Chains A and B, each alone.
Chain A
Amino acid sequence: MTTMAERTQTTSGARAEGTKTLTLGKAVNEGLRAAMRRDDKVLLMGEDIGPLGGVFRVTDGLQAEFGEERVVDTPLAESGIVGTAIGLAMRGYRPVCEIQFDGFVFPAFNQITTQLAKIHNRTRGAIDMPVVIRIPYGGGIGAVEHHSESPEALFAHTAGLRVVSPSSPQDAYTMIQEAIASPDPVVFFEPKGRYWAKGEVDLDVPVGSATLNAAQVVRTGTDVTLVAYGPSVETALKTAAALAEEGRSAEVVDLRAISPLDTGAVVASVRKTGRCVVIHEAPVFFGAGAEIAARVTEECFYALESPVLRVGGFHTPYPVAKHEHEYLPSVDRVLDAVDRAFAH
């Protein structure tokens, strides 16, 4: 676990030709490029990822650099993308699949949960499944149905998968490379609403710094712990800034991964602050926040000043774009939860 302050120092200390300001989407692009240059077994597969560069341009320029055999425009069939990626992995390749939008992963759900997640176990470790499933996810972009969902809990519930989501350009750049290097399958959720957010990226950061397993404290504080990942980290940080104006000190933990779950980082923080609010865009009901709340309650029972609270989506279909900002966990709704936590 590193703090943002520590990392910023490291990054700025190394600021030379290796550091650039990139959007999160471009950081994924650079991470893919670096992984493909490093290992010619890395392949990209997906719909419209070739000349178009993907609907979000995350694979922009990669087919021109690596050719059609390594950046493959697939037929429009998601189960086929993942199913053939499994076969390619058995033959020694490291496929990175792009699912165009969150709501379109379900045709591939069977391949991901019954096959990809289990083949290593089914063969008693004889076969590894180094496959990455990239999924632009989350809302806030004013999209139509099936283009704004957060299905991460469905995958975290399946043993054999790693489920991660970067919140910053630096993490996007590092984590995509670590996901590709992982011998385990990784479902890589990219916060599409944050694709255009800019940040400093150290392009020389070593792959293997374990970002896939280790949460990081992105803001230190003493009164309440805000736990978030992916797009909600920004919401948590804005909430913490607002709380600071009110004289309350919030600590923000960016989980980075929900499988595995870095319980230790969250517990250490809550034992210090005594209060915990979990934020995610996915529905609260049976969401990742429920698991975090249960673990925090079991481990921090005597340190807690109030129940663990959750802020997230409702148990409804993702709403029409006109109403999505009421559905998504806003700064105001997180502030409301923090107020309730302090009411105890």
Chain B
Amino acid sequence: MTTTNGSNEAIPTLQLLDPEGRRVTTRGTKGYRDRAADLTPENLRGMYRDMVLTRRFDEEATSLQRQGELALYAPSRGQEAAQVGSAYALRPQDFVFPSYREHGVLQVRGVDTVDRLRFFRGSDHGGWDPNEHNAHVYTVVIGAHALHATGYAMGVQRDGTPLDKHDGTAVITYFGDGATSQGDVNEAMVYATVNQAPVVFFLQNNQWAISEPTSRQTRTPLYRRGEAFGMPSLRVDGNDVLAVYAATQEALERARLGQGPSFIEAFTYRMGAHTTSDDPTRYRTTDQEEVWRRRDPIDRLAALLRAEGELDDEFVAQVQASADELGVGLRSGVRALDGGAPVSTFDDVYATPHGIVASERAWYEAYEAGDPPAEQYAIAETAQGGAR
């Protein structure tokens, strides 16, 4: 497949599944087709299920925001293949650094659905223990986490973990087209290539950075950025779950074998708004949205499965029932999140006692108890003396 970047230049793009869900057998893609062939019908149904559940999560979260139950939500609608396909290529020992829209990745990684919304509820700055799922919490400062992923990968190198296709350890970081303009993403690519760190830069080019089209970020196809830094780079059809899986598996394998970083541009489309605070009607046409609706990643995988006799009505109904269950659990779980006692604001600011935080906490607790001390810092001295 080739697409254009707005000019007439054709951009080579890996595709294994066309928008109608037919397997594509273009010349030069055999290696990737072989990788995708490893996916059993059971795996493909699992991907379908996770993509449907991710979309349902999206719809439920959007509704919860409209009901005032979430402060904000960043939908992933349209990017399910890019996220689920890439996450299926991960192994348990790998580590994920998401931005804040990777609901499909976190679905596959097993992060609890309610935990994923703590941040958007305003009850948590994170939401889960990154070490439980080998998936870091959201990073909202665009692109900052690309450096964390690279540093983590430099740590993996120093650990002396095995260099093995299966047992090696890889790191993957997700970011968007807007983030490619950030210095941190570019510095991360410098550090990763110089050190040959086992990290995969996974760009979801969803074509919009809030209201700015990719043409406001770059004059060159973005996958070529990776090449310029000196790493293997590939553009894939981000709505083709097989191509995404195969490309990511190849890049992760390279990392696990100690062959350095890779760059993947998954070309996709943000079907929804940037966040629930956004209004896409101010900057893009419904015609464009309609074009991409016809390239829906879930429809595409469903068509493949049906054509190959692997998707019957009973399974579809089962997935639907799971989605309903997810919705019920999410609605009640999110409404129950309250952020804990206000005094918890003073928790975990430091790992070891800090006199200023201790004194302010002591004062606040006395104030809340209706017993504010006459001298604020009389308590400060005590707290500091006791908790150095």
Binding site for B on A (CB under 8 A): 43, 69, 74-75, 77, 79-80, 82-93, 95, 107, 110-111, 114-115, 118, 120-129, 159-160, 162, 182-184, 210, 213-214, 259-264, 267, 295, 298-299
Contacts and interface: CB of A to CB of B under 8 A. Distances in A.
Contacts of B131: 126-127
A87 to B, nearest CB: 2
A75 B124 CA distance: 35
Contacts of B187: 75, 77, 79-80, 83
Task: With a 10 A CB-CB cut-off, give which of A84, A122, A124 has the most chain B CB atoms.
Answer: A84
Q: Which 5 residue pairs spanning A and B have beta carbons closest together?
A: A87-B151, A83-B147, A91-B155, A84-B151, A87-B152
B348 A125 contact: yes
B173 to A, nearest CB: 10
A221 B329 CA distance: 67
B148 A90 contact: yes
Contacts of B148: 83-84, 86-87, 90, 115
Contact of B380 (A74, A114, A125, A263): A263
Contact of A88 (B144, B151, B384): B151
Given A184-B352, A263-B355, A123 B129 contact: yes
A263 B149 CA distance: 39
A85 B355 CA distance: 26
B154 A84 contact: yes
Interface string B347-364: 111111011110100000
Contact of A183 (B136, B146, B352): B352
A124 B184 CA distance: 25
B155 A88 contact: yes
A84 B194 CA distance: 13
Contacts of A114: 141, 144
Given A80-B184, A159-B357, 15 more contacts: A77-B187, A79-B147, A83-B187, A84-B154, A86-B148, A87-B149, A90-B151, A92-B155, A93-B158, A111-B147, A120-B351, A125-B347, A260-B357, A295-B377, A298-B376
Contacts of A88: 151-152, 154-155
A182 B351 CA distance: 9
Contacts of A123: 126, 129-130, 137
A125 B344 CA distance: 12
Contacts of A69: 158
A160 B377 contact: no
B246 interface: no
Interface of B: 124-126, 129-131, 136-137, 139, 141, 144, 146-156, 158-159, 183-184, 187-188, 190-191, 194, 347-352, 354-357, 359, 375-378, 380-381, 384-385, 388
Tell me what chain B mostly uses at the interface: helix, strand, loop, or mixed.
Answer: helix
B151 A83 contact: yes
A85 B151 contact: yes
Task: With a 10 A CB-CB cut-off, give which of A80, A89, A263 has the most chain B CB atoms.
Answer: A80
Contacts of A299: 375, 377-378, 380-381
A210 B377 contact: no
29 contacts: A74-B191, A75-B187, A75-B190, A75-B191, A79-B183, A80-B191, A84-B147, A87-B154, A88-B151, A90-B136, A93-B158, A110-B184, A114-B141, A115-B141, A115-B148, A125-B347, A127-B130, A129-B351, A159-B349, A184-B352, A184-B354, A213-B355, A260-B355, A263-B381, A263-B384, A298-B377, A299-B375, A299-B380, A299-B381
A160 B351 CA distance: 9
B152 A91 contact: yes
Contacts of B347: 124-125
A24 B384 CA distance: 29
Contacts of B154: 84, 87-88
A263 B151 contact: no
Given A80-B190, A83-B187, A214-B388, A298 B375 contact: yes
B384 A262 contact: yes
B384 A260 contact: yes
